[in-house]
Structure 1
């Protein structure tokens, strides 16, 4: 297999990459979640390496959990507790063994968006 998974987080409220945001990746099977790893975004809002590099990439259903609340608190955007957005789970499937899957997150304190990027 030569596919891989990457992400990118942009803080749309501040107009910049979301640096030092914690992301967890889970493998999903039915109602079971198995945590594979945790990574933080760098100054460009990306992880230093692919979330799933070619060596460990497998097709299937996955979930990325973006710890937006911690990031929003650290950047002074949190508002009152309970926060509107805290942990943001994005569940997605990867069916193409040789594809690059890119799952970006566009984030603000009261909204987020994602898509299959390139």
Structure 2
């Protein structure tokens, strides 16, 4: 059995074989870009959560210390809460390890 194909038929056959691969790679790249965009938003939300947790921890420790000296607990919580937020933010930013992720696809 002898199969005779023209160059145009060979190119068409190779194109049909490569088309699913090209489409799959494009879909993978698009999904990767979407995932990276979602991670950026999650990082900000994660930082906010850590700041609030650290502030609550600082307020808790200050509250235990101050309750022995002052009877007006509501005023003391308000007075100590704001500085705790600033301190928690500074400590969390200082202790958070960030990674630089270089862009893909060569230099631009």
Which bracket does the TM-score occupy, shorter chain normalised?
Answer: under 0.3
Structure number with the higher strand fraction is: 1
Structure number with the higher helix fraction is: 2
TM-score by length of 2: 0.24
TM-score by length of 1: 0.23
Structure of higher CA gyration radius: 2
Relative contact order (alpha carbons < 8 A, sep ≥ 6): 1 or 2 greater? Answer: 1
